Homo-oligomer: A and B are copies of this chain.
């Protein structure tokens, strides 16, 4: 079975761990969000790709959900000693090695997809990890700063400003000319099943779908497309997606996100059992919908979630 998963960072990575355990013989291709990527201190950082790679490769800081286990911060302390800016993004020493190698390869002209392959050769994540695009795309948030509007990189909004300023708009700079990374469209065309991880619909799955050609390929695909709601009980399970959903006109609800993706894209949708009342609201649009536990409390719970998504896809495909 060939499965394609659209994934952001922490939530997507944990979901993938469950999926790998649920269907260990499946060939899984992950299309990762790169809109969060940022260049700091001259080094190229791909938070979502790295979180997937480290999580599946056994290098993740488990409690934190991002960054490396056993991390130290000698380089960051020294950069601060030089007064080098910015200082709001915590760059660990182990993690930095990834960014140093990536930056060196990118500077030598290696596309990000090939760089990611090179990095994964060490981590052996058990999936094929593809960036959504090799082209630079930058998710920017326009915020209210007093009575001024200001555009900041998503990482600055998220990490530095803790999503506190009122967001006015989200923009994907560079998206119009971005091309799907090599392998992305083929993986979708050859997939038996496509899953949308329970990642942020605005800044994780959204940018992937916005790369010209990807959404159309998913809509055209014969494979069922099944998503898992990142909203449980009307609130985000993790992160701050609720701050951003209004920007794309989507209510903060399990059904709202499904309808935001739309029935032309989604064949199936999983909501949490607490949102069982929303199943009909989704189903009426033509999206098969089931209510199952969607909290990734531990690996067994995550495996069950992944299995439910695979099962729903099977039912949709037969139907």
By a beta-carbon cutoff of 8 Å, the part of chain A in contact with chain B is: 41-43, 72, 74-79, 81-84, 93-94, 96-98, 100-101, 103-104, 107-108, 118-119, 122
Contact present for B93 and A79 (CB under 8 Å) = no
* 13 A-B residue pairings within 8 Å (CB atoms): A41-B104, A42-B103, A74-B74, A74-B94, A75-B75, A75-B93, A76-B97, A77-B97, A78-B97, A79-B97, A81-B122, A82-B97, A82-B118
Q: Given B75, B84, B104, B119, which contacts A94 in the complex, CB threshold below 8 Å? A: B75
Tallying the copies of this chain within the complex gives 2
Alpha-carbon distance A98/B94, docked complex (angstroms): 17
Other A-B pairs beyond A42-B104, A75-B96, 4, CB < 8 Å: A42-B100, A76-B97, A81-B97, A93-B93
Q: Given B72, B75, B94, which contacts A97 in the complex, CB threshold below 8 Å? A: B75
Q: Given B72, B82, B93, which contacts A101 in the complex, CB threshold below 8 Å? A: B82
Distance to closest chain B CB from A58 (angstroms) = 12
Distance to closest chain B CB from A266 (angstroms) = 38
Distance to closest chain B CB from A258 (angstroms) = 40
Nearest chain B residue, comparing its CB with the CB of A84: B101
List the B side residues contacting A74 at CB < 8 Å.
Answer: 72, 74, 93-94, 97
Contact present for A100 and B81 (CB under 8 Å) = no
Alpha-carbon distance A79/B94, docked complex (angstroms): 9
Alpha-carbon distance A100/B94, docked complex (angstroms): 15
Distance to closest chain B CB from A117 (angstroms) = 12
List the B side residues contacting A84 at CB < 8 Å.
Answer: 97, 101, 104
A107-B42 contact given A122-B81, A122-B83, CB 8 Å threshold: yes
Contact present for A72 and B93 (CB under 8 Å) = yes
Alpha-carbon distance A122/B80, docked complex (angstroms): 10
Alpha-carbon distance A97/B78, docked complex (angstroms): 6
Q: Given B43, B83, B101, B118, which contacts A100 in the complex, CB threshold below 8 Å? A: B43
List the B side residues contacting A94 at CB < 8 Å.
Answer: 74-75, 78
The 10 A-B residue pairs with the shortest CB-CB distance, nearest first, are A78-B97, A42-B104, A74-B93, A79-B97, A75-B97, A78-B94, A75-B93, A72-B74, A82-B122, A93-B93
Distance to closest chain B CB from A76 (angstroms) = 8
Alpha-carbon distance A42/B109, docked complex (angstroms): 12
Contact present for B82 and A41 (CB under 8 Å) = no
Contact present for A100 and B119 (CB under 8 Å) = no
Contact present for B93 and A41 (CB under 8 Å) = no
